[in-house]
Amino acid sequence: MLQSTGRFLLCAFLATIVSPIVADYVIDVKFIKFENYNRLLANGRTCSNFGSQQCQTTLHVCARPDDTSTLCRYGETKTGVIGDNVIDLNKTFIGTARNPITYLIRQPFQKFVVSFTAKSNNELIAEYVYQSGYYLPQRSVEEARYKLITTRGSQNPTTQLTYQIRSYCSHGYYGPNCITRCDNPTSEQTRFQCDINGQKVCKPGFTGPFCNPDADPCRSAPCKNNATCNRMGSTFRCSCHPLYTGQFCIEGIDDCKRASSPCLNGGTCVDLINSYYCKCAYGYTGSKCENGIGECELTTAPCLNGGTCVEEINGYFCRCAYGYTGPKCETVISACLSAPCMNGGRCSNAGTSFECHCLPNFYGPRCQFEDKCRSVTCLNGGTCVITNFVAKCICPQSWTGQRCEIPINQCTPNPCQNNGYCHNLGLGGFVCDCVNGWSGKFCNDRNCPSRPCLNGGTCIRNANLIRCRCPFGFKGKYCEGFKCPEPSGLFPDPQSCRHFYQCDWSIAYRKDCPGNLHFNKVLKVCDWQYRADCNIRK
């Protein structure tokens, strides 16, 4: 196996398209970070295939125009080995190269392309491409802003390169395309200066396309702030307003010097136009720093937990809120020290308050109330009451005993009339077994001579009159008709699982389910028996 050096090669190609514009501009490339966490090559192998667990990365930056030439006509930079697979490049130097890398382009301006090629032992890692489009250079290095780019490798998307790029006009070149030249050497700076578009702007006392001395130096009003311009041959002198000074009367009079030490207690005087203000030293305030600030104001929240800061001579003290103590009210006072829990209750602290854990039969915030019923459990719905300081259970009907645990015989006395026999059902009450000719819960209804009531209706005889009490869902004198719950729809037959009723305008039509299907009252269809969930035994 080859001894691996895991050597990366990263190439940046800056390219442009030919333009007839003559200009002079700068391109800066600033590298931020390179990431190849898996140490992968484009062919799927890793740096470890060469006998080493680490990659040794180098950068090669090549700047060139976008033409058929591969020469680095704008310049090139080599850094040497700078790291492994994840490299922080956001530093002043990358190896021996300064970061950012700057290229001065002394030829027509072109839109450019930046391509980066990463290699290891001459094997491809990944390629990265940045296209500027028509992103024109900015006017100056002071205005130029970097554009942050993060791009993944086209052949190896597990890698990515982060960098910044900007372009701007060189010193002395102006305009949107850096095409305007404006020279302003030191010898000429007394006559003119260049504006942001590269145009000459004559200074006071100079005029014309070459900013020659003005015949009347006061014509351009060089004296400011209501000052008077006095011509003196080819030059002038300004007579300033009392509040201003300087050659052109644009500098305000230093009011801090006019007043003798206006700021007290070590304050610093800051000059304004026809005024001043005092920047006070720590511990003082006021227009002239004449007032001292108390310790409570100087210290940010010195008293904790709601304590109040009180000024003293050469200091302060904290008046603590209830439940706290200490120089800064930082300590919680135990609320259980005063033994607030009564009747044997156990006290525990809860912040600045307390909580009482009461013994049985006692309750309340301090266990001050007693309830004897707390230890008495009444069964079967019984209710505990206190009578003469004794807890007892008041039992519901059908139960008796000290804790309502004994059921009462429902057949004593016998509720069944007309010689009916009573069967005690305990909690379920009772049922009467009536003799022939009688029926009803208490055997007090005479039986009907026949069974005239249909669909499970109950026959009721009153003297010589017979009427039927119909079950839910049926109506009529003999319970012969189905009663529609709604004007229209499908509804189950209360007497049969295999039938259902179709209601139209409150008129019911009895329908049959085919085969062994049952009517599903939820889905409103004939369905399999296990899904229909119908338990009518008919």
pLDDT in tens, 169-200: 888 888 777 888 888 787 777 788 888 888 88
Indicate the pairing of strand 7-16 with strand 56-63.
Answer: parallel
* Mean pLDDT within 315-331: 85
Q: How many CA atoms lie within 13 A of 88 on its CB side?
A: 3
Region 454-458: what's the mean pLDDT? 78
**Regarding the domain with residue range 409-447, which homologous superfamily does it belong to in the CATH classification?**
Laminin (2.10.25.10)
Q: Are 114 and 165 in contact (CB under 8 A)?
A: yes
E strand or H helix that includes residue 387: strand 383-387
Q: Would residue 44 be called left, alpha or beta, if left means φ above 0 and alpha means ψ between -120 and 50 degrees? A: left
Q: Where in the chain is the domain with CATH 2.10.25.10?
A: 257-292, 409-447
What pLDDT, on a 0 to 100 scale, did the predictor assign at position 314?
67
The domain 458-531 is placed in CATH, from the list 2.170.140, 2.30.130, 2.60.120, 1.10.3470, at 2.170.140
Residue written as tokens 């969930």?
A: 533
Q: Where in the chain is the domain with CATH 2.170.140?
A: 458-531
Q: How confident is the model at residue 50 (pLDDT cuts 50, 70, 90)?
A: low
| Residue in this structure with the two tokens 């090629």, named with its chain if needed | 117
Fold classification of 25-174 is: Immunoglobulin-like (2.60.40)
- pLDDT-above-70 percentage for the chain: 87
Residues of each domain in the chain carrying CATH 2.60.40.3510:
25-174
Q: Is the pLDDT of residue 496 over 80?
A: yes
Residue ranges in 291-364 assigned as alpha helix (H) = 295-298
Cβ atoms within 10 Å of 19's Cβ, excluding its own:
14
Q: Are 83 and 57 spatial neighbours (Cβ–Cβ below 8 Å)?
A: yes
pLDDT band of 7, cuts 50, 70, 90 = very low
**H-helix or E-strand spanning residue 39:** none
From CA 375, how far away is CA 362, in angstroms rounded?
Answer: 10
Q: Which fold has domain 257-292?
A: Laminin (2.10.25)
Angle at 383 between CA 377 and CA 386, to 5 degrees: 90
In eight-state DSSP terms, residue 11 is E
What pLDDT digit, counting tens, does each position of 92-134 carry?
Answer: 998 888 999 988 887 656 666 666 777 767 777 777 777 766 7
What DSSP line would sit under 43-72, residue for residue?
Answer: TS-BGGGGT-SS-EEEEEEEE--SSS--S-
pLDDT at 3: 34
CA dist list (Å): 153 to 36, 86, 94, 128, 129: 10, 14, 21, 5, 9
Encode pLDDT of 228-264 as tens digits.
998 887 778 899 987 788 888 888 777 787 767 788 8
The pLDDT of 384-401, averaged and rounded, is: 83
pLDDT digits (tens, 9 = 90+) for 352-392: 788 899 888 788 888 888 777 877 889 888 888 888 778 88
Q: In the prediction, which pLDDT does 22 show?
A: 42
